[in-house]
Chain A
Amino acid sequence: MIAYALRSLAQAVVVTLAVALIAFTMFRFVGDPVASMMGQEASLADRAELAERLGLNQPVHVQFARYLRDIAQGNFGISYRQGRPVADLLAERLPATVELAVLSAAFALVAGVALGVYTAIRRTGLLANFVMSFSLIGVSLPTFLIGIGLIYVFAVELRWLPSFGRGEVVKFGWWSTGLLTESGRKSLVMPAMTLAFYQLTLIMRLVRAEMLEAMRTDYIKFARARGIPERSIWFRHALRNTMIPVTTIAGLQLGSVIAFAIVTESVFQWPGLGSLFVQAVEFVDIPVMAAYLMFVALVFVLVNLIVDLLYFVLDPRLRAGTLAAARP
């Protein structure tokens, strides 16, 4: 298992570098950073001089090699938009995104599994059918529409929750959290809900389908025949067996929520990585875009690794298999 983890980490490095290379070849299609970095008065000579100074007119492979050399020395460069070190920017934005992502993923997972089980065992119930139809909204409505809808109801009309930002945050070293202040907690509610809505409905529908499948299998019938209480059958026997696909999907979703909470972050002006990336793209802030994309690749590889390791915990058969194989 340790060897497996190490191999995955080595792969992570390769994937990250590959992403960086692809990113670098794509940047020229995003635009010319010099256009955003200089005012309209700048002469053609000034523009050419800046491009030269930043090495933007060198061939892609030269730029890429220089970039690799710099990051090997721990230097991710300076943001073209803000004139600040990229590593600082990412570190500053990371807590906001992680807090939002973890909270919404936890909510989506707990509520999704609970509702999935409920709708599976009360298949014909009125409430279950209502939940199922309601969940269609979650999968079909675009995130920004849900976000703006929530803002108008809870911020403009009811005035219960703030419409933007993160509220007051408390800092611990380089980490910051909004969970310890009232305004911080209030600010988290709507973005977390918006972000969780799609994941929630997805997990719920998945759990429901898997549960229905499991409930039809022979071992459930035998369990029933043995007189095991229904509650125990649902949660100890059926649900456990649905967990492998659910873990896979939930894990991938967590990765994408950390990486691509872009829409939600933009709607709520959430100061996370997603909004940083959107602004970097608009400005053609190459150092930020490159570092961000590499970071995202790393997150995905790590999440996948964790999911793989979780399989061992969830499914005893896998553990037995590796142990058996390991025996001489």
Chain B
Amino acid sequence: MFAQSRLFATALVAATALGIAAADARSVKWARSGDALTLDPHAQNEGPTASLNRQMYEPLVERAVDGKLLPTLALSWRITDDPTVWEFKLRPGVKFHNGNAFDASDVVFSLDRARLPTSDYKGYLTSVEKVTAVDPLTVHVKTKGPNPIFVQNLTNLFIMDKEWSETNNVQKPQDFKNKEENFAVRNSNGTGPFALISREPDVRTVLRRHDGYWGRGEFPMEIAELVLTPIKADATRVAALLSGEVDFVQDVPVQDVERLKNAPKVTVNVGPENRTIFLGMDMGAKELRSSDVKGKNPFADRRVRQAVNMSVNRTAIQKVVMRGQSVPAGAIVPPFVNGYTTALDTWPAPDNAKAKALLAEAGYPSGFSVSFNCPNDRYLNDEAICQAVVGMLGQIGIKANLVSQSKSLHFPLIQKAQTDFYLVGWGVPPYDSEYIFSYLHHSRSDKYGSWNATGYANAEVDKLIEGLSSETDLGKRNAAIAKIWETLAAETLYVAIHHQVLAHAMKNDLDIPVHPENQVFFKLVALRKS
């Protein structure tokens, strides 16, 4: 037993080494700060999990770097004559890694699975009433009402093999109440460009190019083997790239971007992320929980919110805190999201005298105090941004008492609306303003406003937001979006600070572009000949 397993291990190592040499193609070691949580494609709606699974599983449509939708497992899609039914024509001749053929029944199975209670993707599919296979290559999705942007929600909904899932008893995503591990947590069978070879969570995941991939001739596919190695410590991750042990670092710490740009044999690609960092103020409460002002709520006065907006010096935060690695923002809407306008993305010049005057006008000439809730492990330099904001507010007399803590303590405060003043970030996976409105601006209710801790409730805006989901005329819909943004901008509900910027660092022969959702499509990577 002893000798045997050792022999086996040696043989395995030798085989892997030979395999790489024989294939004469590149093996890429991919380092990230954290590992995927699971390989089950519907169990965790989390960036790093999706970016690993995306190499093995595929959605119906993919989002390109420029934000456009690309046909993937669906070749085409349209709204049928019935505005509540979407039709998807599927790609023929696609096979799963185990050789099973892909067809409409797999799509129906997967979309149904993603709507189960233990799925973390059900939020994307709440509008779905029924998914049906019309024929092996046609799927109809019936929504509860017209949903003109339904397809935008599908870019992270991966398709599993129905037969494989049934054989391995993984018809449901992992239930954390169970005693046993779901088979899909460490095994996979997708249609994607890479197939799983081995998986040691938190240590190493090895994928190999799937030669039967439908896009083998269409995409470069020059990476033969992909090894994901999570390295949590920033300094170690960067060191591993500099020492040549890894080829690609997806999460480059802000402070190392400049240094890596100057390093020989290393390329750094920088690009905007689909995520805006902003401040929220509770304007709805009768009295702030943590303020020295009693009996009234300073944030309820628009002039106070404007003063806050005016005191936050975005360029200074960009320069000093982010070392240039951010895009200052005037609204919680990244440039590639539908509804973005340059007019919206403006902010007042920092002017402390004017801000103080506004505060005085509102009845707070000597300012007031308030607790300021901030995460310290979620966004790039989140705590440092908060510290800068505290200093800036201090200059106009608002004494913000910083409470910075882990995201697992910070997020519930916002979800339960128990904070007076907070910093948070927001990404927009469907690339449409409706998503921003319904989570951040609609008044709190069962279906809407789960991240709106401002207490803002405007029945008129609510009605407009609800109308968006069923407006099938895109021209009218965009006009409504513009109107909502106009109303909201006048309110100064939130104070946007910046859009985050992502930096990838890699060896010179790779050129991996920055995707706004921090996803990497390794099938698209072509090696640079040196």
Q: Which residues of A contact B (CB under 8 A)?
A: 30-47, 49-50, 53-54, 75, 77-78, 80-85, 88, 144, 148, 151-152, 155-156, 159, 162-166, 168, 170-173, 180-181, 266-269, 271, 275-276, 278-279, 282-284
Residues B243 and A168 in contact, CB atoms below 8 Å apart: no
* Interface, chain B (partner A; CB < 8 A): 1-2, 5-6, 9, 13, 34, 37-38, 40, 43-46, 117, 120-124, 126, 174-182, 185-186, 200-204, 229-233, 235-237, 239-240, 242-245, 377, 405-409, 411-412, 415, 426-427, 439, 444, 446-447, 450-451
Contact (Cβ within 8 A) B450 A83: no
The minimal Cβ–Cβ distance linking B402 to chain A, given in whole angstroms, is 18
What 9 pairs between A and B have smallest CB-CB spacing?
A31-B408, A39-B45, A41-B123, A83-B174, A35-B411, A31-B409, A284-B408, A32-B412, A155-B243
CB < 8 Å: which of B1, B178, B236 contacts A148? B236
Scoring A47, A82, A144, A275 by chain B CB atoms within 10 A of each residue's CB, the highest score goes to A82
A-B contact list, 22 entries, CB within 8 Å: A31-B407, A31-B412, A40-B45, A40-B439, A40-B451, A41-B121, A42-B123, A43-B447, A78-B177, A82-B37, A83-B38, A83-B176, A85-B179, A162-B245, A163-B236, A164-B231, A172-B5, A173-B1, A180-B6, A271-B202, A271-B203, A282-B377
Partner of A159, one of B180, B231, B243, B439: B243
Query: Cα distance A271–B232 when bound, in Å?
Result: 11
Given A44-B450, A83-B174, A170 contacting B179 (CB threshold 8 A): no
* Given A39-B45, A39-B120, A266-B232, A163-B239 contact (CB < 8 Å): yes
A49 to B124, CA, bound (A): 17
Is B427 a contact partner of A275 (Cβ separation < 8 A)?
no
Verify B409–A151 contact, CB threshold 8 A: no
The secondary-structure label for the interface of chain B is loop
Cβ-neighbour of B179 out of A39, A77, A180, A268 (below 8 A): A77
**Contact assessment for A83 and B185 in the assembled complex, using a CB-CB cutoff below 8 Å:** yes
Within the complex, which residue of B174, B231, B444, B450 is in contact with A42, where a contact is CB–CB below 8 Å? B450
| CB-based contact A276/B13 at 8 Å | no
Chain B residues whose C-beta falls within 8 Å of the C-beta of A171 in the assembled complex: 5, 9
Q: Which chain B residue has the least Cβ–Cβ distance from A148?
A: B235
User: Which residues of B lie under 8 Å from residue A152 when comparing CB positions?
Assistant: 239
Is B203 within 8 A of A165, CB to CB? yes
In this complex, what residue of B is CB-closest to A168? B13
User: Nearest residue in A to B202 (C-beta to C-beta)?
Assistant: A271
Inter-chain contact A32/B408, CB cutoff 8 Å: yes
CB-CB under 8 A from A45, the residues of chain B are 446
State in angstroms the CA–CA spacing of A172 and B9 once bound together.
10
Report chain B residues within 8 Å CB of A276.
202
In the complex, the answer to whether B5 meets A78 with C-beta atoms within 8 Å is no
Tell me, rounded to whole Å, the shortest Cβ–Cβ distance linking B457 to chain A.
Answer: 15
Q: Closest Cβ of chain A: how far from B280's Cβ, in Å? A: 14
Q: Give 15 new A-B contacts, CB below 8 A, not counting A85-B179, A165-B204.
A: A31-B409, A37-B44, A41-B439, A44-B446, A78-B178, A78-B179, A78-B180, A78-B181, A83-B43, A156-B242, A163-B245, A172-B5, A180-B6, A181-B13, A278-B232
In Å, the complex CA distance between A275 and B2 comes to 29
The reply to whether A84 and B201 form a contact with Cβ atoms under 8 Å apart is yes
- Chain A residues with CB under 8 A of B5: 170-172
Residues of A within 8 A of B179 (CB): 75, 77-78, 85
| Chain A residues positioned under 8 Å from B405 (CB to CB) | 31
CB pair A38 B236 closer than 8 Å: no
Contacts of B122 in A (CB 8 A): 46
Which of B46, B117, B182 is A83 in contact with, Cβ under 8 Å?
B182
A42 to B432, alpha carbons, bound, how many Å?
18
Which of A31, A78, A168, A269 is in CB contact (< 8 Å) with B236?
Answer: A269
Distance (whole angstroms) from the CB of B275 to the closest CB of chain A: 10
Which residue of the partner chain, among A32, A75, A166, contacts B203 with CB atoms under 8 Å? Answer: A166
For A38, the chain B residues whose CB sits under 8 A away are 45, 120
Contact yes or no, B230 A80, CB < 8 A: no
Task: Write out the residue numbers on chain A whose beta carbons fall within 8 Å of the beta carbon of B181.
Answer: 78, 83-85, 88
| Chain B residue nearest to A268 in the complex (CB) | B236
A267 touches B236 (CB 8 A): yes
Tell me whether B406 and A269 are in contact (CB under 8 A): no
Residue contact A41 to B178, C-beta cutoff 8 Å: no
A82 adjacent to B38 (CB under 8 Å): yes
In the assembly, what is the distance between CA of A269 and CA of B236, in Å? 8
Q: Which residues of chain B come closer than 8 Å to A77, judged between CB atoms?
A: 179
Q: Is the CB of A83 within 8 A of B40?
A: yes
Q: Is the CB of A269 within 8 A of B38?
A: no
Give chain A nearest CB distance to B39 CB in angstroms.
9
Check if A82 sits within 8 Å of B185, measured CB to CB: yes
Residues of A within 8 A of B447 (CB): 43
A88 to B180, CA, bound (A): 11
Question: In the bound complex, do residue A35 and residue B407 qualify as a contact, i.e. CB atoms below 8 Å apart?
Answer: yes
Shortest Cβ distance from residue B429 to the other chain A in the assembled complex, whole angstroms: 8
Which among B200, B243, B377 is the interface contact of A156 at CB below 8 angstroms? B243
A32 to B406, CA, bound (A): 10
> What residues of chain B lie closer than 8 Å to A278, measured between beta carbons?
232
Are B177 and A53 neighbours in the complex by a CB distance under 8 Å?
yes
B450 x A43 contact (CB < 8 A): yes
Complex Cα–Cα for A84 and B121 (A): 20
Contacts A35-B408, A85-B180 hold; do A164 and B446 have CB atoms under 8 A apart?
no
B232 touches A269 (CB 8 A): yes
The reply to whether B202 and A275 contact each other, CB–CB distance below 8 Å, is yes
A190 to chain B, nearest CB (A): 11
A224 to B46, CA, bound (A): 72
- Bound CA–CA A148/B237 (angstroms): 11
Contact for B46 among A39, A44, A54, A266, CB less than 8 A: A39
For A80, list chain B residues within 8 Å (CB).
176
- Nearest-neighbor residue (CB-CB) of A82 within chain B: B201
Residues of B within 8 A of A85 (CB): 179-181
B520 vs chain A, min Cβ distance (A): 19
Residue of A nearest to B200 (CB): A271
Residues of chain B with a CB closer than 8 A to A47's CB: 415
Contacts of B427 in A (CB 8 A): 40
